[in-house]
A and B are shown apart, each in its own frame.
Chain A
């Protein structure tokens, strides 16, 4: 079996635990001064790549892991999540710097990743099934299409067999489905795949000093041109508050009033 060269693309998004607010102009959400972190699905990709390397169990890659490369296209602060990925087990990190507020559409990201895969000679790409900011759930699929590679989406378990075979258990409605393909391939992660670890301090410190490869879109021959224009972003309608009834009779008459009984 071939040694794995894993590419882990990650994205910096508004922290999952932060309540997002639409900006005044209704052109997007408020990002200034808001806590950002790694997209939770990408967190799982980083962890999985590290686990594949660490686990000596037979089910894990017989050919071993040659390299884990973390990649992010984003504003200067995306460096933080790349450093976290380094602290958690990535060997190298590449940063394509975008201007603050500049955003790429999924197809541009897929084209960019294709170029990175070719340059890095990656044979496995593990990426989040979607990023929680625009929920497109397209990048992995488009990348597989552009590369002409097999894809397994929504992975909750990844196993490696002989002769470059990879079995992936996928989350599907109401259950799971297991598929098998041969390397090279694209896998997207789903929530049950693993439990991301805490990076230890010595590794965090070491990662701070590791070099980041800085690139531009032009280095990969990608333009980043947009096909869609956002017209308007609005908040979901506020929840209607409930009313309180004094007693059982009150409840019954309320239900009657609403036509529920």
Chain B
């Protein structure tokens, strides 16, 4: 077996592309992306997405949120941090758990604070001067109780991969990082229940489950798995790539432990699948985006890891064909269908542009207007292959699919996935992106992209040359969940673009009873627009809950509702 480790076909493939690419463009950003791609494909170790340094080509770089959105004012009820406060935290948590820019500010400390102040998209930047990294639930409780008493605002932060600006402070809120609470507490291979601390990185949890004597799988998977944390996943109620198969976190999370701003520990770490005893309060924390309290522990139901997985990539002539393919996939693959993802030609062209890799379907008469990635997961490889083979044959014969390919090995399967999972990152490398993560009944889903593209074109904002602020309007997403990611990739910040997009996009969605935020949440970015998807009564009830759990409003202020 000596050769298995040194031999890395994918790595080789990508590094080779990398070197030729670098030869041509010699840009740091491209090297960085290629490095990330390599990392993403060749290792299952947690990989810090944040270390891609180049994402900010076009947009107003690293501008403070407070400068960019002057209409948001600091709430002067909140106290300003003093060295006395910090001394208390140091005493509570120890020096190593505190990044302190209050007592003796310096450029070096600012560098340490920077990653906690800027979000993944580099769209939002806060002014925090203090990061606290508690190691236990008790410490979290002590910190929050103190903050509540002294009216110090707090932003809980996980892997900081959230896409709506919810994970970073706006002003001087304290960042409460859960990253040191990263222990896996227990796993029962019979029931499949995993109990872990909130700071465990998603990929680490999945790797742990994969290597268990009876391999299991984490019921959530998403492109940011190498950085995002379980607490962050719950707080955003992340959906991800396999919701189609394993359902939402509202179904898989069995229990959790959270700390309220008062310091009260909500111990609802139930590991039972059934427990109909009273209001099921854990659901309030799932998707609360840190506005009610800090999640510290999670109990989640994990399925057996499928022994056999197959991945196919299809090229299709129209969105209507994608719908028919999805319908056929449900009918013919039924219980083994584990993902059905949609990508339009524009999104694939951008990934090609950024990575310099050849698209897997480039040979077969591509590019096609649409691509669908189909994944099956099952327990019997032969059974699955037979079913998938019959499905592929039928969609090809009936003309639903123009072309496609089937991964012949695991490396190819990962490569195919990279063309879907790499879109978010590739877009980020090209400049600022307006992101809309929406849910629309399937029949109309892609029409939003077409309508938006037409509107941007009408305004004369989109084109090939540098004079056009918009590079492309693309759509991709979790077709199986009727969840579309509408992304408008820009070359630079231009306020006309925002004017054309909003409120147009939201109104379009409202007319069709869609959701303006399907899985990324509200954060700062979507706070204003909740009214398009929830009526006044609902928002009113939500505000009552917020007032009850966080009467002083110290938890993640300026955001959510």
Contacts and interface: CB of A to CB of B under 8 A. Distances in A.
Contacts of A81: 408
Interface in B305-322: 307-308, 312-314
B393 interface: yes
B396 A201 contact: yes
Interface of B is mostly: mixed
B13 A195 contact: yes
B361 A198 contact: yes
A65 interface: no
A205 B396 contact: yes
A16 B403 contact: no
Contacts, number: 93
B409 A205 contact: no
Given A18-B410, A35-B308, A200 B9 contact: no
Interface string B256-298: 0000000000000000000000000000000000000000000
A18 B381 CA distance: 15
Given A16-B411, A201-B396, A191 B405 contact: no
Nearest to A22: B1
B7 A198 contact: no
Nearest to B413: A17
A40 B7 contact: yes
Contact of B409 (A17, A133, A197): A17
Interface string A1-41: 00000000000000111111000000001000101011010
B403 A202 contact: yes
A180 to B, nearest CB: 25
Contacts of B303: none
A202 B315 CA distance: 12
B16 interface: yes
A84 B4 contact: no
Contacts of A40: 7, 9, 411
A15 B406 contact: no
B9 A33 contact: no
Contacts of B364: 200-202
Given A192-B16, A198-B360, A20 B408 contact: no
Give chain A's interface residue range (CB within 8 Å of chain B).
Answer: 20 to 34
A138 to B, nearest CB: 13
B406 A199 contact: yes
A43 B412 CA distance: 12
A185 to B, nearest CB: 24
Interface in A134-163: 135
B8 to A, nearest CB: 8
A132 interface: yes
A257 to B, nearest CB: 20
A246 B414 contact: no
Contacts of B307: 33
Interface of B: 1-4, 7, 9, 12-13, 16, 96, 211, 307-308, 312-314, 358, 360-361, 363-364, 381, 389, 392-393, 396, 401, 403-412, 414, 416
- 8 nearest interchain CB pairs? A37-B409, A17-B410, A201-B404, A198-B405, A200-B364, A198-B360, A15-B410, A135-B3
Interface of A: 15-20, 29, 33, 35, 37-38, 40, 43, 81, 84, 130, 132-133, 135, 191-192, 195, 197-202, 204-205, 208, 246-247
Given A130-B3, A192-B16, A198-B408, 9 more contacts: A15-B409, A16-B4, A43-B9, A199-B405, A199-B406, A200-B363, A200-B405, A201-B403, A201-B405
